[in-house]
A = this chain, B = another copy of it.
């Protein structure tokens, strides 16, 4: 298996990228689900027996909710996402995070501008109620376009205050105050496969907010490629 470490594009400027998977166990070859089987075989004092036999064991573990063996594989990814998305992401307390800090480096001028389609989705009948509009006015494409101009103006005003602040000697941690939650930030995330699946269960759910759902889907693609047998089980029973 060759690892695909190319970034998967998400939204207008975001991405998710595999940095490092682990879970080879004692095996020499990059087969990142073997560590799960080896950990489970610890219970029975057995050995890895080859995937023909062990695929059945993996399935038994997964469907029987024996979750701990899935803590013996995991991965590190890199993510670029709007602050609003990262805020939701960080509520998952079983991942490790290291995020870029406006205290150390100036934030890049990258801000999330939703597409017109995304704005108009709210009018589709199956829309999430949480996301519903509050004004009672129907959102027309013309209105959506004019809102995008207001968004652009707000983004520009933030950027001006931020850049001017840095130049004039305002402390970096203060200068960032006007930065919008649409601003992109970047982080590394590390978790065991068990915890990645728990993240996906919540964030690939249709009730999850759309933006984080797109990121969860990208994480899912990486897991599909890196941990294919676990992924197949997860697809059957999320």
Contacts and interface: CB of A to CB of B under 8 A. Distances in A.
Nearest to A5: B26
A146 to B, nearest CB: 8
Contacts of A91: 68, 90, 97
B40 A171 contact: no
A69 B97 CA distance: 8
A110 interface: no
Contacts of A182: 177-178
Prevailing SS type, chain A contact patch = mixed
Nearest to A183: B181
Most chain B CB within a 10 A radius of its CB, from A35, A153, A180:
A180
A76 B71 CA distance: 10
A132 interface: yes
Contacts of A131: 103, 171-174
